[in-house]
Structure 1
């Protein structure tokens, strides 16, 4: 699941999150760790321009700091950046951050990356917004080199080149998984030829089968035989019968009905589902998480 509190866009944030903080975030992470969630995810924005602040808010925690904080109070749940706008930073800086986090967490990092969409962020940091797709492609290639096990990684590209520069600690695993976020044609191609996983951004169910078929075709054309982790973001959920208005798009009702609905994703080729729960407080959210883990999740692979 994507963590609440750490990003508070009006598209998905619940009212109670505005007054929440580190203690709430910690309890949600402990609940996810205890009840068997696969990963916790944190978003990435450096700064929000005033023109977008009304919709996006300016509350966007730094993903490395947030996931590091949660790594220290959890034991098994994976730590995902969903997504890091890695083109805003030199790949050696990103590699240093996420390799250290993977080392300290015992190999629990998944690096999710995306192109970004806020022009002012790129301009403030001196990065060409119009070329962000090409920058991301090269950054991914550079990160492949920098996040392996070589103490002195080497890479030569159009924008970035490095050699004879040592970076330790190395990641705890042989290679940190790299998932590509986005649903545009460019993002889909990037995921197919450069990613270990694909994180679509809000694709309707009706469009997912065609997108997945295209992803697999692009991967086959590129001669890549390794499997790719395909995910999706499910509709908002509420386990049980809500006594309040949870929204027209929310999937709600008995656990068996929710499981049946979510299993349809597996038939499309999806292998992991990012979930979000409607809630009016931290306690209601953690109760929803526990109910989902106990009563819905066991039926998803059946």
Structure 2
């Protein structure tokens, strides 16, 4: 999927009034050698474009940049249809899709779209089953029949293209366990990084579940949504009193992220602005052309 062991991307806006900027920034990122862009998935907001429509639009106008919905609101995306969406985008783009998956969080909004509300445990069960079914409906082979608790397909042919990598936004223990069993990557929630309590308490759950399922825990990437400011001069402190990353100069970013990879096993970073939005074009250029190349020079060439 990716030429580099460590994946670098940026978070883009899905607001209807910023789509010219979305295209401009994704084309810039494509030229500058970033690996992916991401958009959020909130179909209940009328002032945002559909996440998968945005992904398809951008993939059609770029050459190497991959698209990630960060993360798919799975209760609002019927799993068999989502399987067709992502395998179609993969076929049309030459494999430039990552499937981000979430169990759904804003249930008042979700149910307002006409989807029956699920209890938290049932929502995670549906999330895990969706991932399993999507993988079954990719990679070719004979037609499949799936009789699950939440989804049913009968004698449906898989698409003749591989399933994209699946990265989850899991938070709770049950969801983290599902990630360990069936996913390919994990995006810690709430902008948590490798020094956070959330990471320290959550990643072992994924690893234990993976090992119990006969999988290599090391094959499951950890990719961070990582907000911060890229400054012209070094900051006296790059983290706040709560230990959260603020940002710093190019050299400070390189030092921090190189340490995250070498000491904590980080395998991807998706850049956001300090307030969680899209970075400006100058900062995105410094990310792609200064920070990322410096980190790549010190990293191994590729992951399987």
TM-score by length of 1: 0.81
Give the structure 2 partner of residue 52 of structure 1.
none
Match for residue 67 of structure 1 among 43, 49, 55:
55
Instruction: For residue 230 of structure 1, give the secondary structure of its aligned residue in structure 2.
Output: strand
Mapped partners of 1:86, 1:150: distance in 2: 25
Specify whether residues 253 and 89 from structure 1 end up closer, same or farther in structure 2 by C-alpha distance, changes over 3 A only.
Answer: closer
Mapped partners of 2:231, 2:196: distance in 1: 23
Specify whether residues 220 and 134 from structure 1 end up closer, same or farther in structure 2 by C-alpha distance, changes over 3 A only.
Answer: same
| Residues 179, 195 of structure 1: 8 Å contact kept | yes
Instruction: For residue 196 of structure 2, give the secondary structure of its aligned residue in structure 1.
Output: helix
Mapped partners of 1:222, 1:76: distance in 2: 33
| Number of matched pairs | 274
Alignment of 1:216-235 (within 5 A): 216-225=207-216, 227-235=219-227
| Residues 167, 186 of structure 2: 8 Å contact kept | yes
Match for residue 39 of structure 1 among 27, 36, 39:
36
Match for residue 135 of structure 2 among 144, 153, 173:
144
Q: 1:210 offset after TM fit, Å?
A: 4.1
Mapped partners of 2:216, 2:142: distance in 1: 28
TM-score by length of 2: 0.80
Give the structure 1 partner of residue 192 of structure 2.
203
> What residue ranges of structure 2 are gaps of 5+ in the alignment?
1-8, 299-304
Give the structure 1 partner of residue 118 of structure 2.
129
Specify whether residues 66 and 232 from structure 1 end up closer, same or farther in structure 2 by C-alpha distance, changes over 3 A only.
Answer: same
Mapped partners of 1:135, 1:128: distance in 2: 12
Q: 1:215 offset after TM fit, Å?
A: 2.1
Give the structure 2 partner of residue 108 of structure 1.
96
| Residues 170, 188 of structure 2: 8 Å contact kept | yes
Mapped partners of 2:232, 2:245: distance in 1: 12
Mapped partners of 1:3, 1:254: distance in 2: 20
Mapped partners of 2:295, 2:174: distance in 1: 31
> What residue ranges of structure 1 are gaps of 5+ in the alignment?
8-17, 49-57
Tell whether 2:283 aligns with 1:288. Answer: yes
Alignment of 1:268-287 (within 5 A): 268-278=264-274, 285-287=280-282
Higher relative contact order (CA 8 A, sep 6+): 2
CA RMSD of aligned residues (A): 2.8
CA offsets per residue over residues 76-122 of structure 1, 9 Å max, x none? 01111110112323222111211111111111111010011112343
